[in-house]
Chain A
């Protein structure tokens, strides 16, 4: 099903943050490397999950892909354009092909804006007529199974599940090529979690866009992806089809992940 043109590709990416050292070393800054030469390719229409726990560097990896963190070394391409070589203006026009759903819905929705403004924000400066934007908003609201009544509400009047749906609606309104989700289910309860997984998969089928989900939960990854990538301490330790990774893990850390999941079996 996934044809072969690549949407996101990372080659030998090394990334990290500037920090000050301790004691006398604090006089000058050095880069605390988090990602160690990561190679990653995501093709059109493919469903990929990155599985990693806190400290594995999965958030840093997302930031690099989203053009928010320039890597120390390596090449990052989105739709075959080297985004870190482009100035911010052009980079944003490339990133318009990317839909992004952050992790904590409470931090991702401006409490002073109504849902309608939040959802229509990506279309704002795309020289589209207001009537058309209105139409598009109703379309995506229906797609994420929310009633139109929600549009006039403020974020703190919504439940956790509804907030996540609003964020997903916002991320697909400008018809991106790929949808990137950071821990889409971790802030939700089990019953709502299943609803969101269903929603993401239905969007994947209907809009034929690639899915890149980051999660620490192997079980969720199983339902959200064809291919899985295990990230441990900044480097990819295993990659492959999700079923193979679960049934025949190669790397010792993957064993540990499965064991700690199985212990409750």
Chain B
């Protein structure tokens, strides 16, 4: 499958345009929504130098200039990465977000490492015993899991950990971290711990990440069990499967070579969609329930401090995340399916 230059350039230009659209959308959300934009942008400060902060915000937003210039200035600010300091954290908005994004991504990757193999395997087993007892059980389990609220399961897991006497808060136990001299570089604690060869901390981090990961994995497992079964059943109806059976190809080759490869493009597409959907689930569960530092904590801080800048930053970063995931799924799909020529 040649990944033609043409597709890449078109895709990059398209992403660029969509990001501009996202930025313009968030800017208008500030301007149009009721209340003086400058006050909101300054995080409606009280106290002595409130008017000073509001004036600064007014200049930052360029409210005095004509609307078009305002928007262009804001877009330029976004692309140069400085839309002012976060009101809650007093450091540049994107810096705050990127450091937290890594924590949420780590959680998301772990939960999908659990969800994908489990979901796909159960889906295939369900398709192989189609309409048998196992199939009905797995499919109804899938439907239930796909409709279970993530934060509800998170709460139950959190409760059981508490009752078992564990201390499920945060990403790593500060006492153990300082004792063993653990200082993360990349932000992916698990990798940092491995790089430092610090096994005690690694185990501690793992024990803290497992329960939120399971809570988030519930949805993708449910979706994948049902989707894989549907895709496998469709694949087995294809003409070339009937022809291969007629030519004497063995059952295992047909299932684990032909059918599995045929369903991969469909699977990749849905996994991409679910992955982006789960980002929001992760944000809902990680801080409010498990108290882990991540995008979720930024959400709550932005709410409590009325930090518009952080909110806008979040919109942009999450939108970019979605676009990259979609592009990645398109490319993987094209790599697998020889017919697709990007």
Q: Which residues of A are at the interface with B, using a C-beta cutoff of 8 A?
A: 23-24, 26-27
Bound-complex Cα distance A26 to B10 (A): 11
Bound-complex Cα distance A16 to B4 (A): 25
Q: List 7 A-B contacts (CB under 8 A).
A: A23-B2, A23-B4, A24-B5, A24-B6, A26-B4, A26-B6, A27-B6
Residues of B within 8 A of A23 (CB): 2, 4
Bound-complex Cα distance A207 to B87 (A): 83
**In the complex, which residues 67-116 of chain B have their Cβ closer than 8 Å to any Cβ of chain A?**
none
Bound-complex Cα distance A263 to B163 (A): 85
Residues of A within 8 A of B4 (CB): 23, 26
Chain A residue nearest to B6 (CB atoms) is: A26
Chain B residue nearest to A26 (CB atoms) is: B6
Chain A residues touching B, majority SS: helix
Bound-complex Cα distance A27 to B9 (A): 10
Residues of B within 8 A of A27 (CB): 6
* Closest CB in chain A relative to B1 CB, distance in Å: 13
**In the complex, which residues 130-144 of chain B have their Cβ closer than 8 Å to any Cβ of chain A?**
none
Bound-complex Cα distance A26 to B6 (A): 7
Bound-complex Cα distance A27 to B5 (A): 9
Most A C-beta atoms less than 10 A away, residue of B2, B4, B5, B6: B6
Bound-complex Cα distance A24 to B4 (A): 8
**Which 4 interchain pairs have the tightest Cβ spacing?**
A26-B6, A27-B6, A26-B4, A23-B4
Number of interchain pairs (Cβ within 8 Å): 7
* Closest CB in chain A relative to B12 CB, distance in Å: 14
* Closest CB in chain B relative to A184 CB, distance in Å: 28
Chain A residue nearest to B9 (CB atoms) is: A27
Residues of B within 8 A of A24 (CB): 5-6
* Closest CB in chain A relative to B30 CB, distance in Å: 39
* Closest CB in chain A relative to B341 CB, distance in Å: 8
Bound-complex Cα distance A85 to B6 (A): 36
Bound-complex Cα distance A23 to B2 (A): 9
Bound-complex Cα distance A23 to B342 (A): 10
* Closest CB in chain B relative to A26 CB, distance in Å: 5
Chain A residue nearest to B341 (CB atoms) is: A22
Residues of A within 8 A of B5 (CB): 24
* Closest CB in chain B relative to A126 CB, distance in Å: 46
* Closest CB in chain A relative to B7 CB, distance in Å: 9
**In the complex, which residues 1-53 of chain B have their Cβ closer than 8 Å to any Cβ of chain A?**
2, 4-6
Bound-complex Cα distance A24 to B5 (A): 8
* Closest CB in chain B relative to A43 CB, distance in Å: 46
Residues of A within 8 A of B6 (CB): 24, 26-27
Bound-complex Cα distance A192 to B6 (A): 50
Chain A residue nearest to B5 (CB atoms) is: A24
Bound-complex Cα distance A24 to B7 (A): 11
Bound-complex Cα distance A3 to B199 (A): 98
Bound-complex Cα distance A26 to B9 (A): 12
Bound-complex Cα distance A38 to B71 (A): 56
* Closest CB in chain A relative to B131 CB, distance in Å: 27
* Closest CB in chain A relative to B220 CB, distance in Å: 36
Residues of B within 8 A of A26 (CB): 4, 6
* Closest CB in chain B relative to A27 CB, distance in Å: 6
* Closest CB in chain B relative to A66 CB, distance in Å: 31
Residues of A within 8 A of B2 (CB): 23
* Closest CB in chain A relative to B325 CB, distance in Å: 25
* Closest CB in chain A relative to B110 CB, distance in Å: 40
Bound-complex Cα distance A23 to B6 (A): 8
Bound-complex Cα distance A26 to B8 (A): 12
* Closest CB in chain B relative to A264 CB, distance in Å: 26
* Closest CB in chain A relative to B340 CB, distance in Å: 14
Chain A residue nearest to B7 (CB atoms) is: A26
* Closest CB in chain A relative to B193 CB, distance in Å: 47
Bound-complex Cα distance A27 to B13 (A): 14
Bound-complex Cα distance A26 to B2 (A): 13
* Closest CB in chain B relative to A149 CB, distance in Å: 36
Bound-complex Cα distance A26 to B5 (A): 10
Bound-complex Cα distance A261 to B2 (A): 42
* Closest CB in chain A relative to B11 CB, distance in Å: 14
Bound-complex Cα distance A26 to B341 (A): 11
Bound-complex Cα distance A29 to B251 (A): 46
* Closest CB in chain B relative to A263 CB, distance in Å: 27
* Closest CB in chain A relative to B218 CB, distance in Å: 40
Chain B residue nearest to A20 (CB atoms) is: B6
Bound-complex Cα distance A23 to B5 (A): 8
Bound-complex Cα distance A26 to B4 (A): 9
* Closest CB in chain B relative to A73 CB, distance in Å: 29
Bound-complex Cα distance A123 to B28 (A): 50
Scoring B residues 150 to 171 as 1 if CB is less than 8 Å from chain A, else 0, what string do you get? 0000000000000000000000
* Closest CB in chain B relative to A30 CB, distance in Å: 14
Bound-complex Cα distance A101 to B85 (A): 68
